[in-house]
A = this chain, B = another copy of it.
Amino acid sequence: MSFDTTNWFTEAIDETGTAFSLKLKSRLHEEQTPYQKIEIFDTETFGKLMVIDGCTMVSSRDNFLYHEMMTHPALYTHPSPRRVLIIGGGDCGTLHEVLKHPEVKQAQQVDIDERVTRLSEKYFPELCASNRDPRAELHFTDGIKWVREAADDSLDVIIVDSTDPVGPGEVLFSEEFYRHCRRALGEHGILVQQSESPLLHQDILRNMYQRMQAAGFAQQATLNFPQPIYPSGWWSATLAGNTELRSFREQDAAQKAFSCDYYNAEIHKGALAVPEFMKKADTI
């Protein structure tokens, strides 16, 4: 029963009592940036793997689940998503999904650490395939400051594609941050944020809902989806706005002219289904 950890990368989390491991072919890169430690591995079965401060971020094999679910539900919920801001998302996978929508006129990606993007360009070129799209803007600066300085009613969708709400990522889950998002989005804009594991992190979800409401977002909706490399293999994204978030441009989604690997209109509806334990716990 003993696990020989040689040639495996493991993310072990004491609080959740869980660990996930991928078998490695080789370590490709390791560096300490001014912000974090980034490692890149070549795995046996999941392609390339990016790890930041010991946490799995992106694998070649399963990132489509996360990136598609962070993007398409929000963009098909907004009636006309023209101006999109991505906070974090330095691997550029979310940006790539956003730019599949022809309605989008401007997609700003604001990640504090340029090295994430440079390493993604090298090791995950498929995620960076739209970086030179004329609608794409890559900024390497503080996303919180960016939102604070954004003009009122200047954005249609804000996607918070960040790390967990601990350490530097914590402020992205604060009422003050949501308040600035709310102002920059105006009445019709939609915020979407990764919201951790539905099973392991119900307290985080509950806090998010409360803070989003306190910040002036009257509506929330959480989408659940699989994400094998994240703790519990089950993840979520939460929409916030002041319009109905449980209906979306279903016909547009069903007739989309671009290709996805996970998302479609039925998957979107299915991801909105609320498990009974969440209803009982009044989590969301």
Contacts and interface: CB of A to CB of B under 8 A. Distances in A.
A21 interface: yes
Contacts of A39: 1
A9 interface: yes
A203 to B, nearest CB: 13
Given A45-B18, A276-B260, A2 B5 contact: yes
Contacts of A12: 3, 8, 21
13 contacts: A1-B10, A2-B5, A3-B21, A12-B21, A16-B45, A17-B46, A18-B20, A19-B22, A21-B21, A62-B199, A224-B226, A234-B234, A263-B276
A232 to B, nearest CB: 4
A278 to B, nearest CB: 9
A255 interface: no
Given A1-B10, A3-B8, A233-B234, 12 more contacts: A3-B21, A17-B45, A18-B20, A19-B19, A20-B21, A227-B233, A232-B233, A262-B277, A267-B276, A269-B273, A270-B271, A270-B273
Contacts of A8: 3, 12, 19
A233 B61 CA distance: 15
Interface of A: 1-3, 5, 8-10, 12, 14, 16-23, 39, 43-46, 54, 61-62, 64, 198-199, 224, 226-228, 232-234, 259-264, 266-267, 269-277, 280
B277 A273 contact: no
Contacts of A274: 264, 266
Contact of A199 (B5, B21, B228, B259): B228
Contact of A269 (B61, B226, B269): B269
B43 A17 contact: yes
Contacts of A269: 269-270, 273
Nearest to A2: B5
B9 A17 contact: no
Nearest to A1: B54
A151 to B, nearest CB: 37
A88 to B, nearest CB: 23
Contact of A277 (B17, B261, B266): B261
A124 to B, nearest CB: 18
